[in-house]
């Protein structure tokens, strides 16, 4: 297993925004605040905000990325979702 594989999440699985997270829209995207671990995360893209908000509506995170993110940036969105999972902003369902 490579380092990249060890650090990534399974985006083929269903994911959702944690119920402990509040999103506040901002001009750059949104702020995500986790009420449990008190982390504040900057979502620096309106498209990323849409991906995160709609994760639960799709059968996988990959499907959500395909629906809301530019195709040429899919890997960047996958990395962003991996970071959000580590911060407990999103979780598997």
pTM, rounded to two decimals: 0.87
pLDDT tens-place string over residues 20-69? 999 999 999 999 999 999 999 999 999 999 999 999 999 999 999 999 99
Q: DSSP characters for 12-53?
A: TS-EEE-TTEEEEEETTEEEEEETTT--EEEE--HHHHHHHH
More confident call, 7 vs 37 = 37
Q: How far apart are CA 15 and CA 52, in angstroms?
A: 9
Section 72-93 average pLDDT? 94
């Amino acid at each position: 297993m490579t380092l990249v594989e060890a650090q990534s999440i399974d985006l083929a699985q269903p994911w959702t925004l944690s119920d402990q997270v509040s999103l506040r829209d901002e001009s750059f995207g949104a702020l995500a605040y986790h009420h449990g671990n008190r982390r504040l995360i900057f979502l620096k893209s309106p498209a990323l905000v849409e991906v995160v908000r709609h994760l639960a509506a799709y059968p996988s995170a990959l499907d959500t990325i395909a629906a809301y993110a530019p195709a040429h940036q899919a890997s960047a969105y996958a990395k962003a979702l991996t970071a959000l999972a580590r911060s407990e902003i999103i979780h598997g369902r």
